[in-house]
Amino acid sequence: MTHALFQPIQLGSLSLANRIVMPPMTRSRASQPGNVANDMMAEYYAQRASAGLIVAEGTQISPMGQGYAWTPGIYTPEQIAGWKKVTDAVHANDGAIFAQLWHVGRVTHPDNIGGAQPISSSALKAENVKVFIDNGSDAPGFVDVVEPRAMTQDDINAVIAEYRQAALNAIEAGFDGIELHAANGYLVNQFIDSEANNRTDEYGGSVENRLRFLGEVVQAMIDAIGAERVGVRLAPFTSLNGTVDANPIETYTAAAALLNTLGVVYLHIAEVDWDDAPDTPVAFKQAVREAYQGVIIYAGRYDSEKGAQAINDGLADMIGFGRPFIANPDLPRRIAHNYPWAEHDPATLFGGAEKGLLDYPAYQKS
Ligand SMILES: Cc1cc2nc3c(=O)[nH]c(=O)nc-3n(C[C@H](O)[C@H](O)[C@H](O)COP(=O)(O)O)c2cc1C
């Protein structure tokens, strides 16, 4: 039954060994100061290189793009060098790895962005959303986000240029490609979703207008590194970080059609996040399949049976297993042999060092 997950698949010019994806997971262990990927992270990803594709954790494209303390960036020479260690280690183990490029928009606090006011599509505060700060004087911890200011056309042009440069930096760092983080309530999502965008210019209002920023960012990155190295992550139905669309089926089917026209190499749909797990209607998945001809990845509470089923049903091409990859570095082998899966420790997900990152063993038969 699970063999569907082990059919090889082509992703642009990459021949992937299987259809199992390690989706992006923030682990907040970048070296300080400077938010630099490090040897510990290289070993963590190398341990998981038997995934057909790794999408590395959300990585800010600029200082303003950072939402949480200790997450890695990809805009300084030191950060690029840090990521090179990671990509070299994954490639040495025959893995493939994309970078997830991240701008959080309004989901941040001035303490994470040099004292500035956050930016978003609109001057709308995300309600009941907290981010993690480490300001050097108080104990690190969670605080409420603040009201952002609406981006001007100059801001929009500048952020598009940052995405473009980050894509180039990712290739310089040895990544096989990049995933635009347009999901989970961060900046691109703040343009797409109707309830987070009250602009009256060409970036707000109609679906076409709300998708304009997404399209311009993707086009800039494609111009820089080629469509076969650009994937996009969307989260149509979740309300993570307070971002909601009034008509998600219409909006996200149109997004899939736009990304098809642009020719991105994959579409990665986050179906759930944490406990926020709305149903993704089958009719929507069929509409996405019709609208978009590239590789489709789904993630969110999959087990091997359900993942294989989605591929056999023709709705998905690859499946992301998030939390399972944290405690099971050899997850593809466990799926192939039907070995049991270990549970991760929630206390060591974010921050800290090797514990909870590197010390989950491969399965051993007793
Ligand atoms: C610790 C943790 C960190 C995460 N960080 C990110 C992230 O940086 N970017 C992202 O798009 N999704 C992130 N996610 C969501 C996962 O990619 C995935 O969609 C989610 O965990 C659901 O899949 P699962 O049920 O298999 O874990 C994170 C999830 C976890 C558990």
Domains with residue ranges and CATH for the chain: 4-348 (3.20.20.70)
Confidence of residue 2 (pLDDT cuts 50, 70, 90): low
Active-site position among 45, 163, 186, 203 = 186
* Closest C-alpha to ligand 1, atom 4: 25
- Euclidean distance between CA atoms 88 and 329, whole angstroms: 18
pLDDT mean over 107-125: 98
Q: What is the DSSP string of 120-174?
A: ESSS-PPTT-EEEE--SSSPSEEEE--PPEEPPHHHHHHHHHHHHHHHHHHHHTT
Query: At 11, phi and psi to the nearest 5?
Result: -125, 100
* pLDDT at site 279: 86
* Closest C-alpha to ligand 1, atom 23: 300
Contact call for residues 119 and 155 (beta carbons, < 8 A): yes
Lowest mean pLDDT among 152-156, 206-210, 237-241, 353-357: 237-241
The finding on whether 270 has its CB within 6 A of some atom of ligand 1 is yes
pLDDT reading at 119 higher than 70 = yes
The finding on whether 72 has its CB within 6 A of some atom of ligand 1 is no
Which of 179, 269, 273 gets mutated to test ligand 1 (max ligand atoms within 8 A of its CB)? 273
- Euclidean distance between CA atoms 165 and 77, whole angstroms: 12
The closest-lying atom of ligand 1 relative to the alpha carbon of residue 233 is 11
What are 27-63's pLDDT values in tens digits? 999 999 999 999 999 999 999 999 999 999 999 999 9
Helix (H) or strand (E) segment spanning residue 9: strand 9-11
Give all strands (DSSP E) within 140-292, no chain letters. Answer: 141-144, 149-150, 177-181, 230-234, 266-270
* pLDDT at site 99: 99
Q: What is the DSSP string of 62-124?
A: SGGG--STT--BSSSHHHHHHHHHHHHHHHHTT--EEEEEE--TTSS-GGGTTTPPPEESSS-
The finding on whether 360 has its CB within 6 A of some atom of ligand 1 is no
Give the number of other Cβ atoms within 10 Å of residue 239's Cβ. 16
pLDDT reading at 1 higher than 70 = no
Q: Give the three-class secondary structure for 55.
A: strand
Q: Please give the distance, rounded to the nearest whole angstrom, from the Cα atom of residue 325 to the centre of ligand 1.
A: 10
Contact call for residues 360 and 344 (beta carbons, < 8 A): yes
Mean pLDDT of the chain: 97
pLDDT mean over 213-224: 99
- Euclidean distance between CA atoms 65 and 68, whole angstroms: 10
The finding on whether 356 has its CB within 6 A of some atom of ligand 1 is no
Q: Say whether 186 is catalytic.
A: yes
The finding on whether 71 has its CB within 6 A of some atom of ligand 1 is no
* pLDDT at site 364: 94
Residues shown for the chain:
366
